[in-house]
Amino acid sequence: MPALSTASVNSPKRKFPLEHTRNIGIAAHIDAGKTTTTERILFYAGVVHKMGEVHEGSAVTDWMEQERERGITITSAAISCNWTNPTGPFGGIQHQINIIDTPGHVDFTAEVERSLRVLDGTVGVFCAVAGVQPQSETVWRQMGKYRVPRIAFINKMDRVGADYFAAIESMRERLAANAHPIFLPIGSEEAFIGLIDLVAMEARIYDAADASGMTYATTEIPADYLEQAREYREKLIEALADFDDSLAEKYLEGEDLAPDAIRAVIRKATISLGFCAVIPGSAFKNKGVQAVLDSVVNYLPCPLDLPPMKGETEQGREIEIAPDDNAQFAGLAFKLMNDSYVGKLVFLRVYSGSLAKGTALHNPRTGKTERIARLLIMKADSREDIDVAYSGDICAIVGARDVVTGDTLCTKGFDVRLEPPTFPEPVISMSIEPKTTADQEKMAAGLQRLAEEDPTFVVSTDEETGQTIIAGMGELHLDIIKDRLFREFKVGAEAGRPQIAYRESLSKLSEGEGKFIRQTGGSGQYGHARIKLEPLERGKGIEIVDKVVGGVIPKEFIKPTLEGIREAANNGAVCGYPVVDFKVTLLDGSFHEVDSSEMSFKMAGIFAFRDAIEKAGPILLEPMMQVTVETPEDYQGDIMGDLNRRRGQIQSVVGKTAFISIAALVPLQEMFGYATSVRSLSKGRASYSMQPDSFETVPQNVLNTILETSTRGRF
């Protein structure tokens, strides 16, 4: 085990020194048992006295109403507990474990992303029946992105069809993980009764009379399992020999290896990201969770084990932020939450220094000072006030006003910015309208607060239709937003598909003439203009040229004529959408000494444009999206076939390890509901991104359908 320098970095006032602190996440595919595992951890650690159940809606970390109703985790929940490992290098020493239970549904992947950014280690939970599932792959890639050491818990060993070794093999094949068991199961399905510790070479047999799983006997390995245990211990030590020369030398010379020596190398290998220890169990049947807690303490890193956090000064100079209670303060705001009791909560990971309530902190992004009114340790939806948070801690602060996810808070004068978490762009959007006029202001305020909490939820207003558009990671994501609007902000809202911002253009050259003549007795109105329209390349915009000579249109009337042309271009001849990509030339006209005015020439410009656009072969343009789909090779054909059915133009297909990257240009009209379709086609394993690219002519058959359903009139 690496030597830890502790005296110089630990404040004498802190209860748990840095080397006895673990910041971990529980992450996996939806329904793999993350929340149930967290509930058992809290029970065995003494935080709760009754185990909550997801299916009963009583899980501590699933505290939102929507989570309890649906039986899924929507928002990451932070909770702290203490654990004393009876054996090993940390035997008999109480540790503080800060846990974040993350969602498994792909729509809430941002919660996983921001949690992994601030965690030191993770427990990946896998199903013993299904092995590696689609979201498991996504989470594993996220762990790799932030270089988070991990151990694996193969859950549901009590289920029919459970296969521990097949699950480990799926980790090796689909995740390229160097996964090795450090415990073996004794029995499986209904006969799952205990574990074999391959490091200590002993068995843990659970007492069948104690359903809580609190009681187990440490015994010799049953004779039926002894040969298998020796085989897998041999494989474990062979794998560990790659990480430690001393262990390799002793192994090759046939020396007996002390359990603590093996544990030290497992820890070293795990922290290096090159090794993943695997533990079997059944969280629901209360078996194996204590072994997970022991492994968290023994093998996952404390803040001192990891490289210093990278930061950047205002001048752009890179600096390192290492955990040290005596250093200047720097912390990262990784999550915001609106609490009905205390208001805006900012979740903070402290990377250096210590923070006392009442302290004023500097926000380098805004240049403002934020005063911390209260400091809290969160326990899901409950909270505990504390006076000081130290480096390595995860806490919540009250009083910060102008803080967003990803902000750094630091000591005044210590102007440093820590790398924020990154978030994917929203992939689905829809319009939303309040059910009553009275709800309009409440809806706007509610959407703003929800957008502050969730960086993947975006609110905007369509300038052309006036609709409020909400965008997120999937239909479930937006459904939860709508539900929260109703429950938390008492706003009823209806959601629908947003209108597509079509454009119009022209296909050939034309000329047009406009006359505005009114005679009503006394002073009349007279304006006359002749123009030429020419199509331009896509994306060129609008070009206006004045070629009037000889003063046939006085100079003071040129500008209003051109204004009239621009105004008319906002309402095309096909469906009334704005006209783009054309050149208009003002050629000629005439005026009246008395009756001509700015208004009459503006109207002449409007009429001239309408006359010309009717003769110019008007066409409708639709927005095209650049779509990139990453899918396992098995689903490549189905994905490409679906893109073709959506009028997509396949641009490239590139192999990337086990995944294929497909790039295509697809009309936005055809992309609604794609998030659901791509998951269905790939059994949830494919992901995609989408961004605006260009405008292309709408095919005639599609145009006919649009004309039948369009509510926009011609002129």
- What dihedral angle (degrees, nearest 10) is formed by the CA atoms of 210, 214, 219, 223? 60
* Residue 315 shares a structural domain with residue 296: no
Residue type, 320: E
pLDDT at 481: 82
* Residue 444 shares a structural domain with residue 383: no
Best-predicted range by mean pLDDT among 131-135, 415-419, 614-618, 628-632? 614-618
**Strand-strand pairing, 121-127 and 21-28:** parallel
Q: Which of 172, 198, 200 is nearest to 275 (CA)?
A: 172
Mean pLDDT on 617-640: 88
* Residue 549 shares a structural domain with residue 452: no
Q: 217 pairs with which residues across the strands?
A: 205
**Is 425 among the domain residues?**
no
pLDDT at 134: 62
pLDDT exceeds cutoff 80 at 671:
yes
The whole-angstrom separation of Cα 449 and Cα 366 is 19
pLDDT at 608: 95
* Residue 611 shares a structural domain with residue 631: no
Mean pLDDT on 418-430: 75
The mean of the pLDDT values for the chain is 84
Those residues whose C-beta lies under 8 Å from the C-beta of residue 345, and which sit 6 or more positions away, are 336, 337, 338, 339, 376, 378, 396, 397, 398
pLDDT at 264: 94
Backbone angles phi, psi at 441, to 5 degrees: -65, -40
Per-residue HEC secondary structure of 335-372 comes to EEEEECCCEEEEEEEEEECEEECCCEEEECCCCEEEEC
* Residue 489 shares a structural domain with residue 588: no
Number of domains in the chain: 5
Specify the DSSP element, H or E, that contains 482: helix 475-489
Evaluate whether 196 touches 181 at the Cβ level (below 8 Å).
no
* Residue 264 shares a structural domain with residue 282: yes
Tokens matching residue 434: 């309040």
Tokens matching residue 438: 């009275």
* Residue 316 shares a structural domain with residue 448: no
**Is 10 among the domain residues?**
no
pLDDT at 115: 79
Q: Which of 209, 217, 275 is nearest to 241 (CA)?
A: 275
Kindly provide the residue ranges of all beta strands, DSSP E only, lying in 148-294, ordered along the sequence. Answer: 150-155, 179-181, 183-186, 194-197, 202-206, 216-219, 276-280
pLDDT at 483: 80
pLDDT exceeds cutoff 90 at 281:
yes
pLDDT exceeds cutoff 60 at 58:
no
| Residue 57 binned pLDDT confidence (cut-offs 50, 70, 90) | very low
Kindly provide the residue ranges of all beta strands, DSSP E only, lying in 548-679, ordered along the sequence. Answer: 582-590, 618-632, 649-656, 659-667
Kindly provide the residue ranges of all beta strands, DSSP E only, lying in 187-266, ordered along the sequence. Answer: 194-197, 202-206, 216-219
**Is 5 among the domain residues?**
no
pTM for the complete prediction? Answer: 0.68
* Residue 148 shares a structural domain with residue 273: yes
pLDDT tens digits, residue range 347-402? 889 999 999 988 999 999 888 999 999 898 866 556 788 899 999 988 888 888 88
pLDDT exceeds cutoff 60 at 715:
no
Lowest-confidence region among 388-397, 611-620, 656-665 = 656-665
**Strand-strand pairing, 458-461 and 382-386:** unpaired
What Cα–Cα distance (Å) separates residue 641 from each residue in 139, 511, 667, 681?
Answer: 28, 44, 15, 10
Domain boundary among 262, 289, 305: 305
pLDDT at 658: 62
Higher pLDDT among residues 87 and 255, named by residue: 255
pLDDT exceeds cutoff 70 at 36:
yes
| Residue 74 binned pLDDT confidence (cut-offs 50, 70, 90) | very low
% of the chain with per-residue pLDDT over 90: 40
Task: For the chain, state the CA radius of gyration.
Answer: 33
* Residue 108 shares a structural domain with residue 230: yes
Mean pLDDT on 406-417: 89
pLDDT tens digits, residue range 296-312? 999 999 999 999 988 88
Domain boundary among 305, 323, 339: 305
**Is 286 among the domain residues?**
yes
Domain membership of residue 437 as a residue range: 430-494
Lowest-confidence region among 190-194, 316-320, 489-493 = 489-493
Tokens matching residue 447: 């959407």
CATH of the domain at 313: 2.40.30.10
Higher pLDDT among residues 496 and 646, named by residue: 646
* Residue 76 shares a structural domain with residue 187: yes
pLDDT at 229: 95
Tokens matching residue 470: 């909400």
- What dihedral angle (degrees, nearest 10) is formed by the CA atoms of 84, 87, 90, 94? 10
Mean pLDDT on 568-575: 90
| Residue 32 binned pLDDT confidence (cut-offs 50, 70, 90) | confident
Domain boundary among 585, 616, 647: 616
Query: Side-chain half-sphere of 202: how many Cα atoms within 13 Å?
Result: 9
The whole-angstrom separation of Cα 78 and Cα 345 is 13
pLDDT at 595: 86
CATH of the domain at 474: 3.30.70.870
pLDDT exceeds cutoff 50 at 54:
no
pLDDT at 523: 73
pLDDT at 290: 93
* Residue 315 shares a structural domain with residue 295: no
* Residue 164 shares a structural domain with residue 263: yes
| Residue 62 binned pLDDT confidence (cut-offs 50, 70, 90) | very low
Higher pLDDT among residues 182 and 14, named by residue: 182
Mean pLDDT on 548-569: 91
**Is 703 among the domain residues?**
yes
CATH of the domain at 125: 3.40.50.300
Lowest-confidence region among 60-69, 86-95, 506-515 = 60-69
Query: Side-chain half-sphere of 234: how many Cα atoms within 13 Å?
Result: 8
**Is 11 among the domain residues?**
no
Query: Side-chain half-sphere of 354: how many Cα atoms within 13 Å?
Result: 17
Lowest-confidence region among 489-493, 538-542, 586-590 = 489-493
What is the crossing angle of helices 289-299 and 34-44, to 10°? 80
pLDDT tens digits, residue range 206-237? 988 888 888 889 999 999 999 999 999 999 99
Tokens matching residue 415: 């102007």
Those residues whose C-beta lies under 8 Å from the C-beta of residue 545, and which sit 6 or more positions away, are 583, 584, 585, 586
pLDDT at 352: 93
CATH of the domain at 551: 3.30.230.10
pLDDT at 4: 43
**Is 268 among the domain residues?**
yes
**Is 112 among the domain residues?**
yes
